[in-house]
Amino acid sequence: MSLRASVVAQFAEVAEQQGRTLKRSDDDAPLTETGLDSLCFAIIVARLEDQLGVDPFSQSEDPQFPLTVGEFVAAYERARS
């Protein structure tokens, strides 16, 4: 599974567990339009850390949280490279 697919799979799984609908997951989608709330993203980041071994948002001193799905995936790609 590609990194992007792993991330989007987590979006879908967490959305379902939290009783939400994943409205968009394309690269251009702003995170605010995915249908997920901050608790969902907190859970996704924790699960991805368990799965991939990295948490790109806790690594830097002044983390810039991404605004779109594409930027979110890119943060993981950078962290793993």
Residues of the shown chain interacting with other proteins in the complex, contacts defined by CB under 8 A: 17-18, 38-39, 41-43, 45-47, 50, 55, 57-58, 63, 65
Which residue lies nearer to other proteins by CB, 57 or 70?
Answer: 57
Strands (DSSP E) contained in 1-81 are none
Which residue lies nearer to other proteins by CB, 11 or 41?
Answer: 41
The residue count for the chain: 81
Q: Residue 63: CA atoms inside 13 Å, Cβ hemisphere, count?
A: 14
> CB of residue 37 vs other proteins: minimum separation in angstroms?
9
> CB of residue 23 vs other proteins: minimum separation in angstroms?
18
Q: Which residues fall within 8 angstroms of residue 56, CB to CB, at 6 or more apart?
A: 63, 75, 76, 78, 79
> CB of residue 78 vs other proteins: minimum separation in angstroms?
15
Q: Which amino acid is at 21?
A: T
